[in-house]
Amino acid sequence: MHHALQQVTVTKLTSNALMSLCSPETKHSDLFNALFENVADAPWSLLLDTSGSKQSDGRYNIMAYSPALVIEALNGNVTLHNTAEGSTCIIQEAPFEAAEKYLHEKIKGISLNSEVDVSHLPFIVGIAGMAGYDTGRFYEALPSTAQSDYTSPDFSVGLYLYSLVEDTQTGEFYYCACDGSTFPSFTSENKNRNNASPFCLTSSFSSNLTKTQYKQSLDKINRYLTAGDCYQVNMAQRFSAHFEGSLWKAYQELRLQNCAPFSAYFNSSKGSIASISPERFLRVKDGIVETKPIKGTRPRFDDIHEDRRSAEHLMNAEKDRAENLMIVDLLRNDISKHCKPHSVNVPALFALESYQAVHHLVSTVVGELNNTDSPLTLLKSAFPGGSITGAPKIRAMEVIDELEPHRRHIYCGSIFYMGFREDMDSSICIRTLLGEDKTLYCWAGGGIVLDSVADDEYQETLDKVSKIIPVLEHFGKA
């Protein structure tokens, strides 16, 4: 791994050949996840999953596994793991720079060998993983008031030289490899991995803030807003419960219940992440940058008329439109630093997107990336996403650290990939769970502005986890 790699091969596979690797009862629609299950518990296995959604151009599912090298960051230290040699060393670079230098550099200039057209495919091989919200501490001087009680890394990104990509539109599968290998038989290589124990909660979920404490925090935010410190601050509460078994089992149920286009499962070195996020952070494709901030939420209802009223109420809500516009302005500013002059614009403002639990107000901001900038530089400089901090960003993050009792870890961070062709996509990790040391964490928050109503904001946080916490509490029960 000390030299640059030369070539990546891509082979198209038939679903029939892949079905033969799965148990006889596997349905065709579950094939991709059934294959991933064989590596789900292996260190640094990653699934990027559209969950059947077509929102945000949802089309491709990607699994990447057995990374050659991994960059991790925890407690201010950044380490490089060589998985083949089993060696680890501390490095001086900050996380995103380290990922560029030690991982992405290895595949720059690699050539593509494929008998089929793969120009439409994302990723193929490259770097991928997670950057938690607190990765921002490497780049900004922030207070350390909130408690950090996690053991898994804040940043965990690998160099993946193998992947399997599913095109859900055509039903075709592509195996990508840097060593000329053909698609491996997971079942023979990972026989012991498929015996993951069933998931169950061993305690109820509890929050790190009572409703009274949450409203008191909103009062403090209101004073900051009135004083002109901020225009908007995102405030979240953290729920936690004890659990046993495999979070992967729970993820499979959550993805079905939520159908979120940026769903993901990631097994880091010390914990597992299950994300059912609907929100794109930044995408770069053919030099075009896109970000899709979500601001504005209303609950879904079974009654069709009530559900339509809820959506219309959101579309016409001045407060939510104002909130959304503030974040659009922040993100236009964030991406313009790395985009060509006058290329940044807003093709969609205040569009309605409806998911299983909630309606959202979503805007789209696009631009053309500077020829001299890497997508990772863009990601680093816009990190964490403005839609989940508030504005101005740094002051809002200081207030978050003051008022939220615990650090956010993966919540409001990002799961992302950057392929060898400099194509990148990334999520904002809302509706996301972290499982470590038999404790499960889940968060929900919202943007607070001057005309926010505390009771409504508190209820909104509960609406956002209405297809997560109840699903997990009933998991495995008849």
The Cα-based distances of 10 to 39, 124, 172, 175 in angstroms read 20, 8, 12, 6
Amino acid at residue number 233: V
State the residue for tokens 């079942």: 187
In contact, 400 and 234? CB cutoff 8 Å: yes
In contact, 382 and 426? CB cutoff 8 Å: no
DSSP 197-246: PPPEESS--EESS-HHHHHHHHHHHHHHHHHTS-SEEEEEEEEEEEEES-
Q: How far apart are CA 174 and CA 180, in angstroms?
A: 14
Quick one: DSSP state of residue 192?
Answer: G
**Count of CB atoms situated within 10 Å of the CB of 430:** 24
State the residue for tokens 């090298």: 69
Q: How far apart are CA 268 and CA 274, in angstroms?
A: 11
- Count Cβ atoms within 10 A of the Cβ of residue 305 and give its class: 0-12 exposed, 13-18 middle, 19 or more buried: exposed
Q: How far apart are CA 175 and CA 164, in angstroms?
A: 5
- Count Cβ atoms within 10 A of the Cβ of residue 233 and give its class: 0-12 exposed, 13-18 middle, 19 or more buried: buried
In contact, 278 and 387? CB cutoff 8 Å: no
Q: How far apart are CA 323 and CA 405, in angstroms?
A: 24
Token pair of 217 as six digits: 């925090």
What are the residue numbers of the active site?
A: 279, 295
Residues in the chain: 478
Q: What is the distance, to the nearest Å, from the Cα of residue 5 to the centroid of all Cα atoms in its chain?
A: 28
State the residue for tokens 């012991």: 192
Q: Strand locations in 323-458, DSSP E?
A: 345-354, 358-368, 390-391, 414-419, 424-427, 432-436, 439-448
